[in-house]
């Protein structure tokens, strides 16, 4: 872990998928399968090519959605409705420990996600943690400039009206933390490996974020 002086924190930004819930639940695997189905059945990409194309889109554009919009001019709302047409109850349920951890964090809480608002609402509601978040900043708010595009992060800071130094960002992707770090945010990686220049703290699960924040905020005088 790295220690550095920062101004007093005001906001904590949480990614949604595979950050607030464990990767092992399988929800994102199901969503990826829906993405591949969309590419085959709605766009007409040969089935043998979709995995390689999706990987290429993720590398070049950050998401398959942005790649498909660039190459095929798809309707993003059709895409988002299709890939999130999943019964969340098959994968997620109420999380009292997450609810308690969020309750104990004395900062304003924001969801910052490459998914859409409807999916985010559904996930937060099934986890029973929706009341903790005062705002969801989703892919449509960002005009489809998704993480890790620096413009997405600048939009968040402009919307909140604070510099990056007043924000903590919690995310499962080291790649998505790099622009946050560049803009002065304190970064927490969930479920990944450090070290990285983009990562201030690395924790194995979302439930380990609470103690890290408690120590961090105590040092900042919260």
Tens of pLDDT along 113-172?
999 999 999 999 999 999 999 999 999 999 999 999 999 999 999 999 999 999 999 999
| Domain 27-88 CATH (choose: 1.10.3720.10, 2.120.10.30, 3.40.640.10, 1.10.150.450) | 1.10.150.450
Q: Cis before residue 129, ω within 30 degrees of 0?
A: no
The CATH topology of domain 11-22+94-219 is: Rossmann fold (3.40.50)
pLDDT confidence of residue 197:
84
Name, in order, each residue with C-beta under 8 angstroms of 139's C-beta and a sequence gap of 6 or more: 63, 65, 76, 80, 113, 114, 115, 116, 146
Regarding predicted confidence, which is higher, 221 or 52?
52
**Domain boundaries of the chain, sorted by first residue:** 11-22+94-219, 27-88
Q: What's the mean per-residue pLDDT of the chain?
A: 94
pLDDT confidence of residue 194:
63
User: Mean of the pLDDT values across residues 56-60?
Assistant: 95
Distance (Å, rounded) from C-alpha 212 to C-alpha 215?
5
Distance (Å, rounded) from C-alpha 213 to C-alpha 114?
24
């Amino acid at each position: 872990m790295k220690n550095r002086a920062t101004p007093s924190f005001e906001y904590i930004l949480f990614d949604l998928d595979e950050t607030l819930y464990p990767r092992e639940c399988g929800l994102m695997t199901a969503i990826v399968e829906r993405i591949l189905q969309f590419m085959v059945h709605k766009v007409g990409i040969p089935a043998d090519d979709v995995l390689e194309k999706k990987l290429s889109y993720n590398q070049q554009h950050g998401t398959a959605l942005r790649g498909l919009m660039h190459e095929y001019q798809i309707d993003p709302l059709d895409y988002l409705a299709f890939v999130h047409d999943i019964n969340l109850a098959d994968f997620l349920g109420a999380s009292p420990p997450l609810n308690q951890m969020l309750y104990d964090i004395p900062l304003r809480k924001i969801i910052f996600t490459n998914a859409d608002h409807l999916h985010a609402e559904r996930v937060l509601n099934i986890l029973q943690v929706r009341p903790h978040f005062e705002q969801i900043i989703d892919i449509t708010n960002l005009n489809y400039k998704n993480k890790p595009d620096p413009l997405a992060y600048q939009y968040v800071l402009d919307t909140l009206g604070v510099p990056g130094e007043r924000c903590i960002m919690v995310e499962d992707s080291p790649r998505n933390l790099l622009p946050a770090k560049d803009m002065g945010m304190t970064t927490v990686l969930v479920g990944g490996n450090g070290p990285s220049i983009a990562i201030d703290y690395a924790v194995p699960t979302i439930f380990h974020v609470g103690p890290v924040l408690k120590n961090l905020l105590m040092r900042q005088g919260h």
